[in-house]
Each structure stands twice: as C-alpha cells, then as structure tokens.
Structure 1
Amino acid sequence: MKHPILSGSGYKLYVLIWLVVMAAHGSVLYFYYDFSVAIAIADSLIYNLIFGAIAPGLWFIVTFGGLNKDELSLIGTHVGAAFLTIVVWLSLSSYALKLIFYAELTYLTFLSDSSVWRVIVGILFYSISVLIFYLIKYYQDMQKRLNRELELQNLLKDSELRMLKSQINPHFIFNSLNSVSALTVSKPEDAREMVIKLSDFLRYSLGKDHSELNSLEQEIRNATLYLDIEKVRFGDKLKFEKKIGSECLSVQMPNLIFQPLFENAIKHGVYNSIEPVTIKLKCELVEGMLKIHVKNDFDQTSVPAKGEGIGLDNVKKRLTLVYGRNDLLEVNRSENEFSVAITIPVNQAIDEN
C-alpha cells in the first residue's frame, strides 16, 4: 500500500498544510504574546517542523498496527504511540529552543508554562493525523476492492463472450459438414469447393477469438464467405443483396455478428422455400449509430424449422455484454418478410478487449 505522503505528489499538499499551521502559530506568538519576530518564527518552525517530520511515520501504525488485533489492543497501540510521539516531539523541540534562546528568560518561562497546552496540541495533531491516514487507508482499500470487482466482472464478461462465440462455430460446422456429406455423392466438385470455403471461413473465425471488435468491412467480407458456402448447397435458390455506405466500413462492431443472422435467414427462409429467397443487407450511419438491417422473404405456408434458438439470442446477449444495453436488437415479422435491425453505438463499446 503506497504511502500517501512519501509516494506521488501527496507531499505537496502536506507541506502546504504545515506552512499554514506554522503561519498561524507564529502569528499568535507575535501578535497575541508580543514576542519578537525571531522567537515567533523559531518556535513555530521548530515545533511544527519536528512534528511534521514525525507524522508520516504514523501511517505505518495505521497500516500495520491494527493487523490481527481487537479493538482494545488497537486503542492501546495508539495510546502508546501517541505518548511516545508527544514525548519525543516536545523533548526535541524544547531542547532546541532552549539552546537557541537560553538568554531569553521571559520566553523560557513561557515555554515551561505552555507545556500543558503543547501536550494538548500534540494530542490534537496526533489524532488528526491518524484520522486522516485512516480515511486515506479506507479509500485505498475501497479502490482496491472496486478494482478487483471490476477485474472480476471483466473476466466474467470475457468468459461469457467466448462461450457465446464458441456456440456459433460448432453449430455452423455441424450444418456445413452435413451438407458436405450430402454433396460428396451427388456433387463431389461442389463438396470440394464447399470444404475449401469452409476452411477459409474457419481460419478467419478462429483468428478473431482474441478480439471482440472488428471493422464492418471485414465482417461483411467474412459474412459473404459464409453465404458463398451456403450457395454451394442451395445454388440459385439463395440470393444476396447489399447496400452499404462507404462511411460505415471502418466502424468497429462485435465480430461474427452477421453469421447467426444469415444462418437464421437461411434456416427459416431459404431452407423451407421452393422459390428463390433474397437476403438483403443494409448498413447506414444515423446520428452516430451504425444501423444494420438484415431482411429475407419466406414462404408462409412452409413448416417453421425447429432449432435451439442460439442465433438471435446469442447476438442479443453479446450486444448487451459489449455495450451494456439490451435495446440494440429488434426483430420484426410481416406477412412474407422477416427482418432484424441492429444498432451499433459508434466508439461506445464498454471494453474493446
């Protein structure tokens, strides 16, 4: 635990406080007791300088004196420390002043008569110093606890993000391998092309595990690769259109967000439809927000595909973890169109890892 005076810039405020105390002390001696300027300055300087030099050591009593001690032992420690501090302080100060002003009988008498008041002032100095140190120690302990809690929250958030992303790849790989298996007999060349594209996609995906955010341009490139893989399976039945403003391409966003959205569109649109289905992607910047819209048409008469609900729920959880908001994903369904709208706060991620 850092010393509040001896480390950093805390000594500046400490010196300033003692300069104010010295000025007040000297003023009382000069204006109220009519001592000379030399006596007023010397008395104030020596008494306060010596206590100011002793006081930083009280930090160690505050920090270590209460370890493994009950309240009575702690009180006893401070009573003993206060007694020793005041005795040393008064002895050194009085001895130095008597050597300097040995011929000033009036002042020496005052010095002796004011011992009781100086003891009271010493107790006050000790009490204030210890109280301030306890407050500083409490603040430092509180900051340490807050930092530990924040670190733990970040670790938990990171673990949950990794868990959510780990749900995506196995889910997609499972579907892709089933498709490859089906194509190896009927269309071996298509199966080979799908394996190559799948390899490229996984190389990108696994390479992004260490970073939560990525540019929209890179994510679109990866999402297009994903759709190319699916087009090997569905052919002309799957169509893709995109409208993306150039100002959006550099915006940072959580990686692998598009894949669950496109997978959902294929699963509930392309897979169950006899007619070609178009997946539309639109990205635009609106008032400091990146607005992403993914739409697909679907056949109302088809039987809805069953699933585990990983896709959209996964995306919503990740957006909540990264941006601290749960209103960034909106799902709408009309008679023949399904749409997902995502809002990305530009440069407002809680932790970009």
Structure 2
Amino acid sequence: MKHPVLSGFGYKLYIGVWLVVMAVHSSVLYFFYDFQATIAIADSVVHNLIFGAIAPGFWFIVTFGGINKDELSLIGTHLGAAILTILVWVSLSSFTLNSFFNQDIAYITFLKESSIWRVIVGVLFYSISVLIFYLIKYYQDMQKRLNRELELQNLLKDSELRMLKSQINPHFIFNSLNSVSALTVSQPENARKMVIKLSDFLRYSLGKDNSELNTLDQEVKNASLYLDIEKVRFGDKLNFVKEVSNDCDGVKVPNLILQPLFENAIKYGVYDSIDPVTIHLKGEKHDDMVYLIIRNDFDPSSVTPKGEGIGLANVKKRLNLVYGRNDLIDIRKGEAEFLVTLKIPIELSNDTN
C-alpha cells in the first residue's frame, strides 16, 4: 500500500498544508503576542517542521498497528504513540528554541508557560493526522476492493464470452460434418470443396481471441465463407446478397457475431423450403450506430425444425456482455419474412478494442 505522503502528488499537498499552518502560527505570535518577526517565524518553523517530519510515521501505525489486535489494544497503541510523539516533539522543539533565544527572557518565559497549550495542539495534530490517514487507508482499501470486483467481473465476463462462443463452433461443425458425410457418396467433389472451405472457416474462427473485436469487413468475409460452405450443400437453393456501405467496413464488431444469425436464417428459411431463399445483409451507418439488417424469406407452411435455439440468444447475450446494453438486437417475424437488426455502437466498439 503506497504511502500517501511519500509517493505521488501527496508530498506536495502535505508540504503545502504545513506551510499554511506555519503562516498562521507565526502570524498569531507576531500580531497577538507582539513577538519579533524572527522569533515568531522561528517558533513556527521549528515546532511545525519537527511535527511535520514525525507525522508521516503515523501512517505505519494506521496501516500495521491494528493487525491482529482488538479495539482496546489499538487504542493503547495510539495512546502510546501519541504520548511518545508529543514528548519528543515538545522536548526537541523547546531545546532547539532555547538554544537560539536563551537571551530573550520574555520569549523563554512564554515558551515555558505555553507548554501545556503545545501539548494540547500536539494531541490535536496527532488526532487529525491519524484521522486523515485512516480516511486515506479506507479509500485505498475501497479502491482495492472495487478493482478486485471489477477484475472478477471481467474474468466472469470473459469466461461467459468464451462459453458463448464455444457453443457456436461445435454446433456448426457437427452440422457441417454430417453434410460432408452425406455428400461423400453422392457428390464427392462437393464434399471435398466443403472440407476445404470448412478448414478455412475454422482457421479464422479458432485463431481469434474470444474478447477481440474485428472489423465488420472481416466478419462479413467470414460469414460469406460460412455461407459458401452451406451453399455447397444447398446449391442454388441458397442465395446471398450483401449491401454494406463502405463507411461501415472499418467499424469494430464482436467476432463471429454474424455467423449464428446466418445459421439461424438457413435453419428456419432454407431447410424445408422448396423455392430458392435469399439471405440479405444490409449495413448502414447512422450517427453513432451501425445498423446491420439480416433478412430472409421462409415458407410459413413448413415445420419449424427442432434445435437447441442457441443462435439468437447467444448473440443477444454477447452484445449485452460486450456493450453493457440489452437493446442492440431486434427480432421480427412476419408472415413470410424473418428480420434481425443489430445495432453496433461505433464509439464503444472502438473503445472496447
């Protein structure tokens, strides 16, 4: 734990406070007791300089004096420290001033008669110093707790992001391997193409850090690679149209955020459809947001396929974890069209990266 006086900006503030105390002290002696300026300044400097030199040591009493001690023992520690400090302070300052001004009877008499007041001031100085150090220690402890809690939250957040992302790849890999298996006999050339594209896709997805943000352009390319893999399976039945404005390409988005949405579109739009299905991606930039709209048509008479339904829920949870908002995805299902809108905060995306 850093010493508040001996490290950072604290020593400047500490010196400034004691200079103010010295100024007040010397002013009182000069204006109210009519002592010469040299005596008033010397009395002020000696007394306050000595106490100011001793006071930083109180920090160690505050920091370590209460370890493994009950309240009564702690009070005893401070009482003993206060008595010792005031005894040393008054004795040393009186001896020093006596040595310089022993010819001035009026001042020496004042010095002796004011000893009780100096003891009271010493008690006040000690109490104020210890109180301030306790407040600083409390603040530092609170900051440590907050930092630990924040670190724990970040670890939990990172773990949850890893868990959410880990759900994507196995789910997709199992489907792809099943498709490869089916194509091996009937369409071996397509099976080979699918394996190559699957290898490229996995090389990209597994090579990205879970908390990393990628440019939208990279994510669209990766999602297109995923659709190429699926197109090997579905052929002309699956079409993809992209309309993303150039000013959106460099915006940072969570990696693999689009692939689950395209997977969802295929699952609910392409599987049981007889007619060709078009998946449409549109990207627009408005003010401090990028809007990504994924739209696909589907056959309303088809039976909804069964599954774990992790896609949309996964995306919603990841957006909430990354941006701290739960209003960044909008899902609408019409009579024959499914529409998903993602809102990506531009400034937060760049800061998060």
TM (normalized to structure 2)?
Answer: 0.99
Contact 1:269–1:277 under 8 Å retained in 2 = yes
1:89: which partner in 2?
Answer: 89
Question: 1:209 Cα deviation (Å)?
Answer: 2.8
1:346: which partner in 2?
Answer: 346
Aligned length: 353
1:235: which partner in 2?
Answer: 235
Q: Does the C-alpha gap of structure 1 residues 135 and 253 become closer, same or farther in structure 2, counting only changes over 3 Å?
A: same
Alpha-carbon distance in 2 for matches of 1:78, 1:247? 66
Question: 1:244 Cα deviation (Å)?
Answer: 0.7
Alpha-carbon distance in 1 for matches of 2:294, 2:164? 21
Q: Does the C-alpha gap of structure 1 residues 234 and 321 become closer, same or farther in structure 2, counting only changes over 3 Å?
A: same
What are the superposed Cα offsets for residues 197-217 of structure 1, whole Å, 9 maximum, x if unpaired?
Answer: 000000000011344311000
1:173: which partner in 2?
Answer: 173
What are the superposed Cα offsets for residues 225-273 of structure 1, whole Å, 9 maximum, x if unpaired?
Answer: 0000000000000001111100000000011011100101101101110
Aligned residue identity for 1:263 = E
Question: 1:351 Cα deviation (Å)?
Answer: 7.3
RMSD: 1.0
What are the superposed Cα offsets for residues 119-158 of structure 1, whole Å, 9 maximum, x if unpaired?
Answer: 0000000000000000000000000000000000000000
Q: SS of the residue aligned with 1:326?
A: coil
Contact 1:211–1:352 under 8 Å retained in 2 = no
2:44: which partner in 1?
Answer: 44
Q: Does the C-alpha gap of structure 1 residues 351 and 157 become closer, same or farther in structure 2, counting only changes over 3 Å?
A: farther
Contact 2:98–2:108 under 8 Å retained in 1 = yes
Alpha-carbon distance in 2 for matches of 1:242, 1:6? 61
Alpha-carbon distance in 2 for matches of 1:210, 1:293? 24
Question: 1:287 Cα deviation (Å)?
Answer: 1.6
1:197: which partner in 2?
Answer: 197
1:308: which partner in 2?
Answer: 308
Q: Within the alignment, does 1:118 sit opposite 2:118 as a pair?
A: yes
Aligned residue identity for 1:240 = F
Contact 2:319–2:326 under 8 Å retained in 1 = yes
Aligned residue identity for 2:173 = I
Alpha-carbon distance in 2 for matches of 1:217, 1:86? 71
Aligned residue identity for 1:343 = K
Contact 1:219–1:256 under 8 Å retained in 2 = yes
Alpha-carbon distance in 2 for matches of 1:174, 1:216? 26
Q: Within the alignment, does 1:317 sit opposite 2:313 as a pair?
A: no
2:255: which partner in 1?
Answer: 255
TM (normalized to structure 1)?
Answer: 0.99
Contact 1:238–1:270 under 8 Å retained in 2 = yes
Contact 1:272–1:302 under 8 Å retained in 2 = yes
2:134: which partner in 1?
Answer: 134
Alpha-carbon distance in 1 for matches of 2:136, 2:166? 44
Aligned residue identity for 1:283 = G
Moved more, 341-350 or 163-172: 341-350
Aligned residue identity for 2:338 = F
1:144: which partner in 2?
Answer: 144
Q: SS of the residue aligned with 2:296?
A: strand
Contact 2:288–2:347 under 8 Å retained in 1 = no
Alpha-carbon distance in 1 for matches of 2:98, 2:106? 12
Deviating runs (4+, > 6 A) in structure 1? none
Alpha-carbon distance in 1 for matches of 2:324, 2:349? 8
Contact 2:265–2:296 under 8 Å retained in 1 = yes
Q: SS of the residue aligned with 2:348?
A: coil
1:105: which partner in 2?
Answer: 105
Aligned residue identity for 2:236 = D
Aligned residue identity for 1:128 = I
Contact 2:252–2:350 under 8 Å retained in 1 = no
Alpha-carbon distance in 1 for matches of 2:340, 2:272? 19
Aligned residue identity for 1:163 = M
2:34: which partner in 1?
Answer: 34
Alpha-carbon distance in 1 for matches of 2:223, 2:348? 23
Question: 1:335 Cα deviation (Å)?
Answer: 1.0
What are the superposed Cα offsets for residues 75-115 of structure 1, whole Å, 9 maximum, x if unpaired?
Answer: 00000000000000001000000000010011111000001
Percentage identity across aligned positions? 73
Contact 1:291–1:344 under 8 Å retained in 2 = yes
Moved more, 343-352 or 86-95: 343-352
Contact 2:210–2:255 under 8 Å retained in 1 = no
Moved more, 207-216 or 245-254: 207-216
Contact 1:323–1:350 under 8 Å retained in 2 = no
Question: 1:9 Cα deviation (Å)?
Answer: 1.4
Q: SS of the residue aligned with 2:283?
A: strand
Q: Could you list the runs of 5+ residues in structure 1 that have no partner in the other structure? A: none
